[in-house]
Structure 1
Amino acid sequence: MSETVRLTTGQAVVRFLAAQFSERDGAEQRLIPGMWGIFGHGNVAGVGQALLQAAHTSDEHSGGLPYYLARNEQAMVHTSAAFAKMRDRLATFACTASTGPGSTNMITGAALATTNRLPVLLLPSDMFATRYPDPVLQQLEDTRGGDVTVNDAFRPVSKYFDRITRPEQLIPAALAAMRVLTDPAETGAVTLCLPQDVQAEAFDWPAGFFARRVWHVPRPAPEPAAIARAAEVLRTARRPLVVAGGGVVYSGAGEQLAELANATGVPVADTHAGKGALPADHPCAVGGIGSTGTAAANALAAEADVVLGIGTRYSDFTTASHTVFGNPDVTFVNLNVARLDAVKHSAVAVTADAREGLRALLAELDGWRVETSYRDHAGRLAAEWRRVTDECYSRGHGPLPAQTEVIGAVSEAAGERDVVINAAGSMPGDLQMLWRARDPKAYNVEYAYSCMGYEVAAGLGTKMAAADREVFVLVGDGSYLMLSSELVTMISEGIKVVIVLVQNHGFASIGSLSEELGSQRFGTAYRYRSGESGLLDGEALPVDLAANAASLGATVLRAGSVAELRDALAEARANSTTTVVHIDTDLFGPGPPGSGWWDVPVAEVSRMDSTAKAYETYAAHKQNQRHYL
């Protein structure tokens, strides 16, 4: 008879996770180096007890797994996703939450992780499997079936979902979870629901379940025929353009991308996830592409006859809602580890790891190079945009500085390997156009789900993944108000992050978009409700977010100008504890000059002149929209 170990399901989860490792290119690391959690009645005596026992047991079979106390369940998923991003998806955290609202708070984080193709392991507690005490506290009663719980809402945002209603079900479910977490084409949020009674139930587990297990993360090689087809198309190109996405970064293929650019002279644009894959100062780098892309990248996209997309999902911001690639005869060649993305836009598809695919493609393109005139043309466009960026960084705008000047000051303060973090509002657009990333890990702007509240939590996860880098979180007042709780966690864990809190007393991005769409910035400013108009158009609210940050334990520096901001950033960088640098900026910009479009439908009929005029502009832009067939 094989050896068994008697443990509760919660104890088995902890011991199993502690023994999981990932490996790529011969380098191993803990796949799940710890667990985030907030305890409630649904997990405190199950997974919570298991973590306690592991922390106080020193023998080789204890299954030690460090526990980290979060202050918000959504935030701990964001922290885990940012950690996974920084670790090239080779490691992530597990997250445990109590039943009901504690667990459903993680759903937004799950959606962010899956949309961004980032691995996170979620362990939401669930209702009693035995159903003896039904309905229990925080239980949803559904007349359609007794097995429906609020955790079913995780299904559409999880790449793998299971509910463990018997202890022995954990064995195949846990192995399946690790498979998905380590699959570069299928990874995302993985959800294993743990009923609170099952967590505490004992079972005789086969000892082999807890053996040290190494999950090899594959690098799928391209089919030679696919590479030949791709090279054949590229050799016909007179105005080719590379679009580098996050797949280049996660694959560690930056060196191969640079070799391709050096050998062929093809200009390289990037997405948010791909920024830094080719350093911004490389002669072939032309910056971000799409709705908030640089004028250089978008001009080249408009005339490109062949687009080589590497590791990109082609979101609407990348394609400017299917308008940025203007050549009627444009052909796409897509290199992607996920076939879902490789075949987009009727492309010549190469389904493979980015590094391996680039190596094969470079060999097949040996001797081919773009014409000197085209390379020089791309270089002139890039140089002009560098001049525009310098202007945006030093506008001298007043009385309050422009947001672009704040970004410029942070850019000056950040070293080549330091990381900037953002996710929502007007800053992602400004950053995509203006930030000069010179390292593939220096830019973390979450713009797949663009989730307000990501920034502070992501700063924590990023610093945990790369303690040797300075981390600069750029966060607006809107996002800060939604989720700033992990400032307390940073203080508790002794983790230092620099947070630049930009306060403009409103939603700058949506306010600007609202005005553009004829809705007159309605409902986007933080104001008192007026007794005369009945609208939120009174005086500005006396909200002091710097004082709020100080109350949470952070060191706070207030900057009243760009010059003071530079001094504060230098001081914050030298500090050993988390520091919030607060500055007020002009709600109305000005921002960098845009050259892309985003499809946000405008009311087709309206009694308001502003909306009617906006619809005319919208209808004109729609004429340029197309399917890429």
Structure 2
Amino acid sequence: MKTIRLTMAQALLKFLDRQYVSIDGTETKFVKGVMGIFGHGNVTGLGEALERSAGDLIYIQGKNEQGMVHAATAYAKQMNRRQIWACTSSIGPGALNMVTAAATATVNRIPVLLLPGDNFATRQPDPVLQQLEVAGDYTVSANDPFKPVSKYWDRITRPEQLMTAALQAMRVLTHPAETGAVTLALPQDVQAEAYDYPEEFFERRVHYIDRRPAAEEAVKRAAELVKGKKRPLLIAGGGVLYSGAANELADFAEAFGFPVAETQAGKSSLPWNHPLNVGAIGVTGSLAANKLAKEADLIIGVGTRYSDFTTASKSAFADPEVRFVNINVSGFDSAKLSGAAITADAKEGLKALKDALAAAGYRSAYGDGEIAGLKQQWDAEVDRLYGLEIEAGLAQTRALGVINETIDPNAVVVCAAGSLPGDLHRLWRAQTPKSYHMEYGFSCMGYEVSGAFGAALAEPGREVYAVVGDGSYLMLHSELVTSLQEGRKFTILLFDNHGFQCIHNLQRGHGSDGFGNEFRYRESGTGRLTGGYLPIDFAAHARSLGAKSYKARTAEELREALKQAKAETVTTLIEIPVVPGTNTGGYESWWNVGVPEVSVSGKVVTAHEEMKKRIDAARPY
């Protein structure tokens, strides 16, 4: 057997550079490159290999470890999980900074490869700088927290272990369902150790991601259930987009008269103006979709994991006879809500069920114009909110309307946390698939700017916009600088409403007077943060980093700023002061949050009693 002597780090890069995926006969190089921040735990190992032995892998210098992993996650999401970036950090704080982003990737089922440095395997110099010393278990390091947030975790304590670990990592990274963060902890001394690796380990390797077909018996069971139902509702989740099943979704809905509602991950599966698209579902849903959900006797969930926002904490489906059919490539998700499970690729599952229902002559029993009437009412509500004018300043919904009407319909909008995801889910009129990029599995504040950079890397031919609140921006915006360094422009639309207003609203809706969520000075004499708002010039801050920036206080100024930002050649920020509390409210939906049973406030006790009534009316499982 021919061998080649390499360090473990050099061998890892050589292996990654030769991995490909094949879907529907199309091959794609799987690992685009490595994002990293060097420290003593990786600079002389993996860093040396990247400097001199990277092959065709590209290196991008991150500015914050969490931010660069968010960027890698967004890249893979926008690429439908067909290409990824690896991310490397030093030991200690650098590694731990990646844990939150690892969880974000895993919750959203997005592949990302993490290569944190680790303690010396020899233990000769212990304890080294940044090393944890756990007296009861000396094998524990700062990389152990990755275990619960990774779909696969391994520590390479000998250079030959890399071969097994790398193949296992690829198994998970290329899996259509059981994917997420993969962590290979790399002790800093082992990274530099050499081994005679077999040359065949580095041969070009193609990982075939075959579409899982629907089992015939599963389709028959589901079809029998559907045939007895008259008021079905189809819920499109992210699996529709990952599968590339937008056309099959439209064909299915049109064939049988199914109204289609969308989750955050599934939004843009159908154009907003498709006659059967009734909009967002659940806590952040449209009135049309939520009304249909309450009266539906059948739910077909396609590629959705049925989060509490989608099901309105299991209160959205009020018909006691409602049943579920779940088409999902993940058996874990297809079994939810005691549904009839079709564990299959979304495209294959939709086609198989369509054929079965067509053979049975099935058609929904909605009245003439019923779906169209609900959709027309909701469209009028969106028009009202998009055109809302108030004396106090610019309403958040008005600003979103201007943006939606001004930017290219093919542009990508990226968002993650705060009140903006709710307004975007309800109101944004998406016209093309993958134009709506929402991280709402983990709703991780700070994803927005980093995610927009990742989306811009993935699709350099499309305009990309980070829609972000001031709270999220302050948490993490460092990859703005990386975008300037890499020449990948995107536009940041920063909604300044003086704090964490989404949670401020949640407080006040459950008996609180509002506490600790607005960006205010501490008021003398009260000891509380009830003074004036903190004056933060976000536009000036962006300029100080090298970006272009504008400030838009009115709808007219915003429209003009968007036009000017489009003409800029570098990342641009538009600061948009909006009036707090001008986001949308709920439309016949509910979200279960714990409210204290005992409080000195009567309002809180009343809110608790209301919560109990809602729980009693919701599905228990």
Residue 500 of structure 1 corresponds to which residue in structure 2?
493
Runs of 4 or more consecutive aligned structure 1 residues displaced over 6 Å after TM superposition: none
Contact 1:274 1:440 (C-alpha < 8 Å) held by counterparts: no
Letter in 1 for 2:127: P
Q: Hey, what's the Cα distance between the residues in 2 that align with 1:410 and 1:12?
A: 48
Contact 2:422 2:584 (C-alpha < 8 Å) held by counterparts: no
Query: Out of 212, 237, 244, which is 2:236 matched to?
Result: 244
Query: Does 1:352 pair with 2:344?
Result: yes
Q: Hey, what's the Cα distance between the residues in 1 that align with 2:409 and 2:228?
A: 37
Contact 2:70 2:447 (C-alpha < 8 Å) held by counterparts: yes
Cα deviations across residues 337-391 of structure 1 (Å, max 9, x unaligned)? 0000001011110000001111111111116343464462122111110110011
Q: Hey, what's the Cα distance between the residues in 1 that align with 2:136 and 2:201?
A: 36
Query: Out of 279, 283, 288, which is 1:291 matched to?
Result: 283
Query: Out of 259, 269, 287, which is 1:267 matched to?
Result: 259
Q: Hey, what's the Cα distance between the residues in 2 that align with 1:185 and 1:404?
A: 36
SS at match of 2:160: helix
Residue 112 of structure 1 corresponds to which residue in structure 2?
104
Residue 95 of structure 2 corresponds to which residue in structure 1?
103
Letter in 1 for 2:59: Y
Q: What is the deviation of 1:590?
A: 4.7
Residue 488 of structure 1 corresponds to which residue in structure 2?
481
Query: Out of 369, 378, 381, which is 1:376 matched to?
Result: 369
Q: Hey, what's the Cα distance between the residues in 2 that align with 1:158 and 1:318?
A: 24
Q: Hey, what's the Cα distance between the residues in 2 that align with 1:103 and 1:113?
A: 15
Q: Hey, what's the Cα distance between the residues in 1 that align with 2:513 and 2:25?
A: 57
Q: What is the deviation of 1:137?
A: 0.6
Residue 4 of structure 1 corresponds to which residue in structure 2?
3
Cα deviations across residues 571-629 of structure 1 (Å, max 9, x unaligned)? 1112221110111001121525532110011111111122123223222322221135x
Q: Given the superposition, is the C-alpha separation of residues 327 and 372 from structure 1 closer, same or farther in structure 2, using an over 3 Å criterion?
A: closer
Gap regions ≥5 residues in structure 2: none
Query: Does 1:331 pair with 2:331?
Result: no
Q: What is the deviation of 1:482?
A: 0.1
Query: Does 1:582 pair with 2:575?
Result: yes
Letter in 2 for 1:138: Q
Q: What is the deviation of 1:506?
A: 1.3
Q: What is the deviation of 1:415?
A: 2.2
Q: Hey, what's the Cα distance between the residues in 2 that align with 1:265 and 1:493?
A: 48
Contact 2:3 2:197 (C-alpha < 8 Å) held by counterparts: yes
Q: Hey, what's the Cα distance between the residues in 1 that align with 2:403 and 2:166?
A: 43
Q: What is the deviation of 1:261?
A: 1.0
Kindly report which structure 2 residues correspond to 1:11-22, keeping only aligned pairs within 5 A, or say none. Answer: 11-22=10-21
Q: Hey, what's the Cα distance between the residues in 2 that align with 1:401 and 1:440?
A: 30
Contact 1:22 1:29 (C-alpha < 8 Å) held by counterparts: yes
Contact 2:283 2:586 (C-alpha < 8 Å) held by counterparts: no
Cα deviations across residues 441-463 of structure 1 (Å, max 9, x unaligned)? 01111111000000000000001
Contact 2:423 2:583 (C-alpha < 8 Å) held by counterparts: no
Kindly report which structure 2 residues correspond to 1:462-477, keeping only aligned pairs within 5 A, or say none. Answer: 462-477=455-470
Letter in 2 for 1:365: L
Contact 1:239 1:374 (C-alpha < 8 Å) held by counterparts: no
Residue 617 of structure 1 corresponds to which residue in structure 2?
610
Residue 23 of structure 2 corresponds to which residue in structure 1?
24
Q: What is the deviation of 1:23?
A: 1.0
SS at match of 1:623: helix
Cα deviations across residues 291-339 of structure 1 (Å, max 9, x unaligned)? 1110100100001111000000000000000100000011000000000
Query: Does 1:146 pair with 2:145?
Result: no
Q: Hey, what's the Cα distance between the residues in 1 that align with 2:603 and 2:227?
A: 49
Contact 1:266 1:375 (C-alpha < 8 Å) held by counterparts: no
SS at match of 1:296: helix
TM-score by length of 2: 0.98
Contact 1:34 1:66 (C-alpha < 8 Å) held by counterparts: yes
SS at match of 1:94: strand
Q: Hey, what's the Cα distance between the residues in 1 that align with 2:584 and 2:390?
A: 11
Q: Hey, what's the Cα distance between the residues in 1 that align with 2:375 and 2:403?
A: 22
Q: What is the deviation of 1:150?
A: 1.5
Letter in 2 for 1:198: V
Query: Does 1:457 pair with 2:450?
Result: yes
Q: Hey, what's the Cα distance between the residues in 2 that align with 1:253 and 1:204?
A: 45
Q: What is the deviation of 1:54?
A: 2.6
SS at match of 2:27: strand
Q: Hey, what's the Cα distance between the residues in 2 that align with 1:12 and 1:398?
A: 64
SS at match of 2:369: helix
Contact 2:19 2:30 (C-alpha < 8 Å) held by counterparts: yes
Kindly report which structure 2 residues correspond to 1:521-600, keeping only aligned pairs within 5 A, or say none. Answer: 521-592=514-585, 594-600=587-593
Contact 1:97 1:124 (C-alpha < 8 Å) held by counterparts: yes
Kindly report which structure 2 residues correspond to 1:16-95, keeping only aligned pairs within 5 A, or say none. Answer: 16-54=15-53, 63-95=55-87
Residue 274 of structure 2 corresponds to which residue in structure 1?
282
Letter in 2 for 1:295: L
Residue 332 of structure 2 corresponds to which residue in structure 1?
340
Contact 1:267 1:375 (C-alpha < 8 Å) held by counterparts: no
Residue 220 of structure 2 corresponds to which residue in structure 1?
228
SS at match of 1:366: helix
Contact 1:433 1:592 (C-alpha < 8 Å) held by counterparts: no
Q: What is the deviation of 1:281?
A: 1.2
Q: What is the deviation of 1:233?
A: 1.1
- Aligned-pair identity (%): 51
Q: Hey, what's the Cα distance between the residues in 2 that align with 1:239 and 1:516?
A: 33
Residue 308 of structure 2 corresponds to which residue in structure 1?
316
SS at match of 1:111: helix
Which range is displaced more, 592-601 or 602-611? 592-601
TM-score by length of 1: 0.97
Contact 2:230 2:365 (C-alpha < 8 Å) held by counterparts: no
Q: Given the superposition, is the C-alpha separation of residues 294 and 336 from structure 1 closer, same or farther in structure 2, using an over 3 Å criterion?
A: same
Q: Hey, what's the Cα distance between the residues in 1 that align with 2:576 and 2:50?
A: 41
Letter in 2 for 1:25: D
Query: Does 1:179 pair with 2:168?
Result: no
Q: Hey, what's the Cα distance between the residues in 2 that align with 1:145 and 1:527?
A: 45
Query: Does 1:200 pair with 2:192?
Result: yes
Query: Out of 496, 504, 513, which is 1:511 matched to?
Result: 504
Gap regions ≥5 residues in structure 1: 56-62
* Alpha-carbon RMSD: 1.1
Query: Out of 249, 261, 266, which is 1:257 matched to?
Result: 249
Contact 2:230 2:366 (C-alpha < 8 Å) held by counterparts: no
Residue 59 of structure 1 corresponds to which residue in structure 2?
none
Q: Hey, what's the Cα distance between the residues in 2 that align with 1:274 and 1:193?
A: 34
Letter in 1 for 2:227: R
Q: Hey, what's the Cα distance between the residues in 1 that align with 2:546 and 2:603?
A: 46
Residue 420 of structure 1 corresponds to which residue in structure 2?
413
Q: What is the deviation of 1:416?
A: 2.5
Q: Hey, what's the Cα distance between the residues in 2 that align with 1:301 and 1:502?
A: 32
Contact 2:327 2:343 (C-alpha < 8 Å) held by counterparts: yes
Q: Hey, what's the Cα distance between the residues in 1 that align with 2:125 and 2:221?
A: 63
Q: Hey, what's the Cα distance between the residues in 2 that align with 1:291 and 1:583?
A: 26
Q: Given the superposition, is the C-alpha separation of residues 206 and 583 from structure 1 closer, same or farther in structure 2, using an over 3 Å criterion?
A: same
Q: Hey, what's the Cα distance between the residues in 1 that align with 2:448 and 2:244?
A: 24
